[in-house]
Amino acid sequence: MGNKMICAVIGRNIDEIGNGRSETYYKNVYIKHTIAEKITELADGGVTDFICNAEYGFSFWFCEIGIPIRDIRKQHGLSTFRIHIVMPYEEQASQWSDDIHERFYDINEKADEVLILHRRFHKDCYRNSERFMIDNSDFLFTDDENYFAGQYAELHNKQIEVLERTR
């Protein structure tokens, strides 16, 4: 078995993405399509583990798309990968709609590992989770390199892969 290659997946939440909350809005559909392509490219390139916080938006969509891709690759004997969720705090999804809340817990059930960093919300819990993920990865996949995670990864000499933006 080869060495591990770990990718932190950190991006903007649904409100920061700025395309509205509609997941069917064409720019959000494009983001999801590009995520699916990138997962396959990274897995084919040797990524063995993805670490994400599953915050509703980029990271959430990555997990939701990545889990079935992982399972299909496994069924067909292709190189596969593990998905690790690093929740910033225990009640991360408590304020989300029932639908999103249920999807979040479905992701958690199907992930290979779930780690909860803090019991309660505090002002630094999201940044702490991003630091943890980057410190424990080889590189970062993000939708915005100017976001805190991109700056932190650059400061720590981590390679950064950026999602291609819609036109």
**pLDDT the model gives residue 2:** 56
- β-bridge partners, 114: 85
Cα-atom radius of gyration of the chain, to the nearest Å? 15
**pLDDT the model gives residue 35:** 95
Summarised one tens digit per residue, pLDDT across range 112-130 is 999 999 999 999 999 999 9
Q: What is the β-pairing status of strands 139-142 and 113-116?
A: unpaired
**pLDDT the model gives residue 145:** 74
Q: What domains are there in the chain, each with its CATH number?
A: 6-162 (3.40.50.450)
Report angle CA 94, 95, 96 to the nearest 5 degrees: 95
Summarised one tens digit per residue, pLDDT across range 55-100 is 999 999 999 999 999 999 999 999 899 999 999 999 999 999 999 9
Q: How confident is the model at residue 22 (pLDDT cuts 50, 70, 90)?
A: confident
